[in-house]
Amino acid sequence: MLRCLLVDDSPRFVAAARGVLESEGIAVVGVARTCAEALQHVQELRPDVTLLDIDLGGESGFEVARQLHGTGRIDPCRVILISTHSGQDYAELIAASPTAGFLSKSDLSAGAVRDILTRCGNGTAPVSEPPGT
Protein backbone atom coordinates (compact mmCIF):
# COMPACT_ATOMS: atom_id res chain seq x y z
CA MET A 1 0.00 0.00 0.00
CA LEU A 2 1.35 3.43 -0.93
CA ARG A 3 1.89 5.82 1.97
CA CYS A 4 0.95 9.43 1.22
CA LEU A 5 1.61 12.81 2.82
CA LEU A 6 -0.91 15.53 1.93
CA VAL A 7 0.42 19.09 1.96
CA ASP A 8 -2.52 21.48 1.70
CA ASP A 9 -3.88 24.34 3.78
CA SER A 10 -7.57 23.56 3.13
CA PRO A 11 -9.10 21.29 5.79
CA ARG A 12 -12.07 20.65 3.48
CA PHE A 13 -9.88 19.45 0.64
CA VAL A 14 -7.71 17.36 2.96
CA ALA A 15 -10.78 15.57 4.33
CA ALA A 16 -12.14 14.90 0.84
CA ALA A 17 -8.77 13.80 -0.55
CA ARG A 18 -8.14 11.51 2.41
CA GLY A 19 -11.52 9.86 1.86
CA VAL A 20 -10.92 9.31 -1.85
CA LEU A 21 -7.35 8.07 -1.51
CA GLU A 22 -7.96 5.76 1.43
CA SER A 23 -11.05 4.24 -0.19
CA GLU A 24 -8.87 3.48 -3.23
CA GLY A 25 -5.96 1.87 -1.36
CA ILE A 26 -3.55 4.73 -0.56
CA ALA A 27 -2.84 5.31 3.14
CA VAL A 28 -2.71 8.98 4.13
CA VAL A 29 -0.03 8.88 6.84
CA GLY A 30 0.16 12.61 7.50
CA VAL A 31 -1.04 16.09 6.68
CA ALA A 32 1.00 19.28 6.54
CA ARG A 33 -0.28 22.84 6.07
CA THR A 34 3.03 24.72 5.75
CA CYS A 35 6.49 24.35 4.30
CA ALA A 36 7.98 23.74 7.74
CA GLU A 37 5.44 21.02 8.53
CA ALA A 38 6.02 19.40 5.13
CA LEU A 39 9.78 19.26 5.66
CA GLN A 40 9.31 17.81 9.15
CA HIS A 41 6.71 15.21 8.11
CA VAL A 42 8.73 14.04 5.10
CA GLN A 43 11.69 13.39 7.38
CA GLU A 44 9.64 11.72 10.13
CA LEU A 45 7.11 9.77 8.07
CA ARG A 46 9.09 8.97 4.91
CA PRO A 47 5.99 8.80 2.70
CA ASP A 48 6.05 7.02 -0.64
CA VAL A 49 4.40 10.02 -2.27
CA THR A 50 3.76 13.62 -1.22
CA LEU A 51 0.82 15.47 -2.77
CA LEU A 52 1.79 19.14 -2.61
CA ASP A 53 -0.62 22.03 -3.22
CA ILE A 54 0.84 24.74 -5.44
CA ASP A 55 -0.79 27.47 -3.34
CA LEU A 56 -0.28 27.11 0.42
CA GLY A 57 -1.79 30.41 1.48
CA GLY A 58 1.27 32.63 1.88
CA GLU A 59 3.72 29.97 0.73
CA SER A 60 4.49 28.59 -2.72
CA GLY A 61 4.27 24.86 -3.30
CA PHE A 62 7.02 25.28 -5.89
CA GLU A 63 9.32 26.62 -3.17
CA VAL A 64 8.34 23.75 -0.87
CA ALA A 65 9.21 21.29 -3.65
CA ARG A 66 12.61 22.94 -4.13
CA GLN A 67 13.29 22.80 -0.38
CA LEU A 68 12.23 19.15 -0.17
CA HIS A 69 14.49 18.32 -3.12
CA GLY A 70 17.33 20.39 -1.63
CA THR A 71 17.31 18.37 1.59
CA GLY A 72 18.34 15.29 -0.35
CA ARG A 73 15.80 13.33 1.67
CA ILE A 74 13.22 12.94 -1.07
CA ASP A 75 13.34 11.76 -4.65
CA PRO A 76 11.61 14.21 -7.03
CA CYS A 77 9.58 11.25 -8.32
CA ARG A 78 7.91 11.09 -4.92
CA VAL A 79 6.34 14.60 -5.09
CA ILE A 80 3.24 15.43 -7.12
CA LEU A 81 2.00 19.00 -7.38
CA ILE A 82 -1.76 19.52 -7.03
CA SER A 83 -4.03 22.52 -7.57
CA THR A 84 -7.57 23.62 -8.28
CA HIS A 85 -6.11 25.56 -11.21
CA SER A 86 -5.33 24.02 -14.57
CA GLY A 87 -1.87 22.62 -15.13
CA GLN A 88 -1.70 24.89 -18.18
CA ASP A 89 -1.76 27.90 -15.83
CA TYR A 90 1.56 26.76 -14.35
CA ALA A 91 3.00 24.64 -17.18
CA GLU A 92 6.46 26.24 -17.23
CA LEU A 93 6.81 26.24 -13.45
CA ILE A 94 5.64 22.63 -13.23
CA ALA A 95 8.10 21.55 -15.93
CA ALA A 96 10.96 23.32 -14.13
CA SER A 97 10.06 21.93 -10.69
CA PRO A 98 11.81 18.95 -9.08
CA THR A 99 8.60 16.88 -9.01
CA ALA A 100 7.03 13.88 -10.71
CA GLY A 101 4.34 16.04 -12.25
CA PHE A 102 0.98 17.70 -11.72
CA LEU A 103 -2.52 16.51 -10.88
CA SER A 104 -5.63 18.66 -10.82
CA LYS A 105 -7.48 18.33 -7.52
CA SER A 106 -10.66 17.52 -9.45
CA ASP A 107 -8.87 14.53 -11.04
CA LEU A 108 -7.41 13.20 -7.79
CA SER A 109 -7.60 9.44 -7.48
CA ALA A 110 -5.32 6.61 -6.46
CA GLY A 111 -5.10 5.55 -10.10
CA ALA A 112 -4.02 9.02 -11.21
CA VAL A 113 -1.35 9.14 -8.49
CA ARG A 114 -0.06 5.69 -9.46
CA ASP A 115 -0.01 6.67 -13.15
CA ILE A 116 2.22 9.67 -12.42
CA LEU A 117 4.52 7.59 -10.22
CA THR A 118 4.78 4.93 -12.92
CA ARG A 119 5.66 7.51 -15.58
CA CYS A 120 8.34 8.87 -13.27
CA GLY A 121 9.75 5.40 -12.66
CA ASN A 122 8.43 4.43 -9.22
CA GLY A 123 5.67 2.07 -10.29
CA THR A 124 3.09 1.24 -7.67
CA ALA A 125 5.33 -0.46 -5.12
CA PRO A 126 6.19 1.46 -1.95
CA VAL A 127 9.59 3.08 -2.19
CA SER A 128 10.26 3.40 1.52
CA GLU A 129 9.68 1.49 4.68
CA PRO A 130 7.41 2.88 7.37
CA PRO A 131 9.29 4.55 10.23
CA GLY A 132 10.60 2.15 12.83
CA THR A 133 11.02 -0.86 10.51
Return the pLDDT at 82: 96
- The DSSP letter of residue 103 is E
Could you give the C-alpha distances from 52 to 25, 75, 78, in angstroms and in order? 19, 14, 10
Q: How far is CA 58 from the centre of its chain?
A: 18
Q: How many CB atoms lie within 10 A of CB 57?
A: 11
Q: Tens digit of pLDDT per residue, the chain (133 long)?
A: 999 999 999 999 999 999 999 999 999 999 999 989 998 999 899 999 999 999 998 899 999 899 888 877 677 789 999 999 888 888 999 999 999 999 999 999 999 999 999 998 754 333 333 334 3
Handedness of CA 57, 62, 64, 65 (dihedral sign): positive
pLDDT at position 131: 39
Could you count the other beta carbons within 10 Å of the beta carbon of residue 120? Answer: 18
pLDDT at residue 41 in the model: 93
pLDDT of residue 121: 76
Eight-class DSSP state of 57: T
Q: Is domain 2-120 classified as CATH 3.30.465.10?
A: no
Domain locations along the chain: 2-120
Residues in the chain: 133
pLDDT per position as a tens digit, 57-81 = 889 999 989 988 887 767 778 999 9
